[in-house]
């Protein structure tokens, strides 16, 4: 069990199919690949790279923009698919990381190494906020497409509230590495997006 990858090729294919449905414009395979690339880049900081990789693969596996329980269902899917591949303690850790992506608040993990991995996972998930402006704008447009069923006034109000909640934090990112690399640009991108939403041009 130790030497086998948690996410083998069969499981990757199964999950890739979930990420490839036509209603996904941002929460697709490209998002997973971007996070996996960051996990590889920061591998030296990870206590349990396999658990983080598994959490990345599963965290948006269930995604319905009309639903409120996507992360919980994604965590349940991970628990079902990974049962027997990893011990219960590690499985609980993976599920906690997936569930944390619902609010982007650190999960209640007592283990400091597990908490550190969760912080890095959440930062990787939000790294897009600190992307170059053109990439960030494409991300915003993709999110809007995923919420195409929401009428424009409701969309502007809801999206503005989400973005303001990030700006209100002392730090958008938890780790020093991501704060240094992405925080200034993320705040600029969010402020620009808010201005567009509030003026009716975004």
Name the phi and psi angles at 86, rounded to 5: -150, 155
Alpha carbon distance, N-terminus to C-terminus of the chain: 49
Q: Report the pLDDT value the prediction gives residue 1, as an integer from 0 to 100.
A: 41
Q: Report the pLDDT value the prediction gives residue 202, as an integer from 0 to 100.
A: 62
Q: Report the pLDDT value the prediction gives residue 194, as an integer from 0 to 100.
A: 96
- For the segment 88-141, what is each residue's pLDDT rounded down to a tens digit? 999 999 999 999 999 999 998 889 999 999 999 999 999 999 999 999 999 999
- Place 173 in a pLDDT band, splitting at 50, 70 and 90: very high
For the chain, which domains are there?
9-127 (1.10.3210.10), 129-199 (no CATH)
Q: Select the more confidently predicted residue: 4 or 153.
A: 153
SS3 content of the chain, % helix, strand, coil (to 5): 65, 0, 30
Residues with Cβ < 8 Å from 176, sequence gap 6 or more?
none
Q: Is 32 exposed, middle or buried (0-12, 13-18, 19+ CB in 10 A)?
A: buried
User: Which among 59, 51, 38, 48 is positioned nearest to 181, based on CA atoms?
Assistant: 38
Q: Report the pLDDT value the prediction gives residue 201, as an integer from 0 to 100.
A: 66
- For the segment 5-57, what is each residue's pLDDT rounded down to a tens digit? 899 999 999 999 999 999 999 999 999 999 999 999 999 999 999 999 999 99
Instruction: Flag whether the pTM goes above 0.85.
Output: yes
């Amino acid at each position: 069990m130790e030497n086998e990858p948690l996410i083998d090729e069969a499981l990757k294919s199964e999950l890739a199919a979930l990420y490839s449905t036509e209603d996904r414009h941002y929460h697709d395979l490209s998002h997973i690949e971007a996070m996996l690339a960051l996990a590889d880049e920061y591998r030296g900081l990870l206590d349990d790279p396999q658990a983080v990789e598994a959490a990345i693969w599963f965290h948006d596996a269930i995604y319905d923009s009309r639903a409120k329980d996507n992360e919980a269902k994604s965590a349940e899917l991970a628990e079902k698919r990974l049962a027997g591949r990893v011990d219960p303690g590690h499985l609980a850790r993976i599920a906690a990381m997936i569930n944390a992506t619902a609010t982007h608040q650190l999960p209640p993990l007592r283990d400091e190494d597990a908490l550190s991995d969760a912080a890095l996972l959440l930062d990787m998930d939000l790294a897009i906020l600190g992307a170059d402006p053109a990439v960030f704008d494409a991300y915003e447009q993709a999110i809007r497409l995923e919420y195409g069923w929401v009428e424009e006034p409701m969309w502007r109000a809801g999206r503005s509230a989400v973005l303001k909640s990030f700006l209100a934090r002392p730090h958008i990112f938890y780790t020093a590495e991501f704060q240094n690399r992405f925080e200034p640009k993320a705040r600029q991108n969010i402020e620009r997006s808010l201005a567009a939403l509030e003026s009716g041009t975004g």
